[in-house]
Amino acid sequence: MNKNWLSKEKLIQVLLVVSILSISVMGIYFLHQLTSGIFRIFMSALSAVLIPFIIAFFLSFIVGPLSSWMIKKFNMNENLAVILSILIGILFVIMLIGIVIIFILSQVSSVLNSLLGLVDAESIRTLINEITQAIDVYFKTNSFTDIINEISANGASIERVMALIGVVLLTFTGIISGIFRIIAIFVLTPVFMFYLIKEKEYIFLNIAKVAPKKVRHHVIELGKRSDEVIKNYFRGQGMMIGIISIYFALTLSVLSFFVPGFRIEYAIMFAILMGLMNIIPYIGAWIGLAVPMIFLLTKYLETGSNQNIYLYAMGIIVMIHLIEQALEISIIQPTILGKQVHIHPLLVLSSLIFFGGIFGFAGVLLAVPLAGTIKAVALYISEVSSSKSVEKEKEINSNRLETANENQD
């Protein structure tokens, strides 16, 4: 048995490594404790600028082709074409969000009315009246001082009440801060998008100049490859959204002729939403499916659960959706997206969790193009490493050949 690993020198080395690691971990922990507030403020300020920039960067690949088409088709001024394309994109997003919000509110209202209709309305009114009368009697028979004394006697002191008010105020300020952050994103994103569409090449060439000369050509090449991957991804996604929307528009329109209250305009609206939701990997398809299912469930509740046609329609929509998913996975995705943007499902899921945790919903939307960019960078690094190793091997072989020739001489 080899006992060298138990030698004094080995033991000292292990203890030294363990000590360094322990001190490093403790140092990082205490540094985090001391600078957590500053770090949080810094990250909040950074995200306030970084999130709209990233959103604008990827949206520029969608809106950019529209501005280029306007310039070529109508011989339009470049600035005007970019501004018009951004406005069209913003109006489309606002219209889509408005339709979804109106639909959700109307369906929630219908469901609540249906559920309340199933409950005895008279008993609810009686309960509300009893609660109101009890509150009125309590405040009439007790003064404000008695109420404060009773609260204090039950263990809820003024200090605790003030602490609770402080928590409520902090929550309120957090909500206000979140609202201002959302407004900043909506304001900054179009501004960033304008310059990224108009001067993207100029911006990134200047960014590349910051890199050292030895690696500058690598940075430029990585930028070109990432640009190509993202373009291919959004081009493929646009085609997929169109195909999926047409598929659901046809199938749901046929179904609308047999289901009472399921008008053809609803079928087209659901088809467009289900197509657009497909841009969110894995999750989006099922979110899109939930929209017509909620609508049919609402209709089922409104009719007093007497018409099973709505249940049959829900089952048919699930079957239509499963067929679409099978066609998408086996034929549409491999054909349209191609090998250039083919990403392993595990990487996609990891990207959804990681980027979603950092950037929120925007990170979920941009997870796949970000993962594609990372893949392009990894492949390029692998190619550079392989080419270097091949060159090194050639150099070694040439040196060996020269040495052999010298020995023969």
In terms of average pLDDT, the best of 120-134, 159-173, 372-386 is: 372-386
- Identify the three-state secondary structure at position 375: helix
CA angle 369–370–375, rounded 5-degree value: 95
Question: Which tokens in the block code for residue 296?
Answer: 């049919």
Burial call 49-69: b when 16+ CB within 10 Å, e when fewer: eebbebbbbbbbbebbbbbee
Distance CA 375, CA 347 (A): 9
Amino acid symbol at 20: I
Residue identified by tokens 């949080």 is: 40
CA atoms within 13 A on the CB side of 400: 6
Helix axes 309-327, 283-302, angle to 10 degrees: 170
Whether the pLDDT of residue 247 is over 90: the answer is: yes
Beta-carbon contacts of 277 under 8 Å, excluding residues fewer than 6 positions away, are 284, 285, 287, 288
Distant-in-sequence contacts of 347-353, Cβ < 8 A, 24+ apart = 347/371, 347/375, 348/281, 348/282, 349/282, 352/281, 352/282, 352/283
Which pLDDT score, from 0 to 100, does residue 136 have? 67
Q: Cite the DSSP H helix spans in 210-342.
A: 213-256, 264-276, 283-302, 309-327, 333-337
Residue 143 φ/ψ region, left for φ over 0, alpha for ψ in the -120 to 50 degree band, beta for the rest: beta
> 281 near 292, Cβ under 8 Å?
no
Residue 29 CA, chain-centre distance (Å), reads 30
> 205 near 220, Cβ under 8 Å?
yes
Whether the pLDDT of residue 63 is over 60: the answer is: yes
Confidence class for position 406, pLDDT limits 50, 70, 90 = low
Whether the pLDDT of residue 1 is over 50: the answer is: no
Distance CA 388, CA 65 (A): 38
Question: Which tokens in the block code for residue 181?
Answer: 């952050």
- Identify the three-state secondary structure at position 153: helix
Helix axes 78-118, 264-276, angle to 10 degrees: 120
> 301 near 115, Cβ under 8 Å?
yes
Beta-carbon contacts of 178 under 8 Å, excluding residues fewer than 6 positions away, are none
Distance CA 408, CA 399 (A): 14
Distant-in-sequence contacts of 220-228, Cβ < 8 A, 24+ apart = 221/380, 222/376, 222/377, 222/380, 225/376, 225/377, 225/379, 225/380, 226/373, 226/376, 226/377, 228/340, 228/376
Return mean pLDDT, the chain. Answer: 76
Distance CA 220, CA 325 (A): 38
For range 148-174, the mean pLDDT: 64
Among residues 345, 292, 299, the alpha carbon closest in space to that of 320 is found at: 292
Whether the pLDDT of residue 359 is over 60: the answer is: yes
Q: What distance separates the 2 farthest-apart alpha carbons in the chain?
A: 120
Confidence class for position 141, pLDDT limits 50, 70, 90 = low
Q: Which pLDDT tens digit goes with each residue over 267-306?
A: 888 998 888 888 777 778 888 898 899 888 888 877 765 5
Whether the pLDDT of residue 150 is over 60: the answer is: no
> Which one has a higher pLDDT value, 62 or 46?
62
Distance CA 283, CA 69 (A): 33
Q: What is the pTM of this model?
A: 0.65
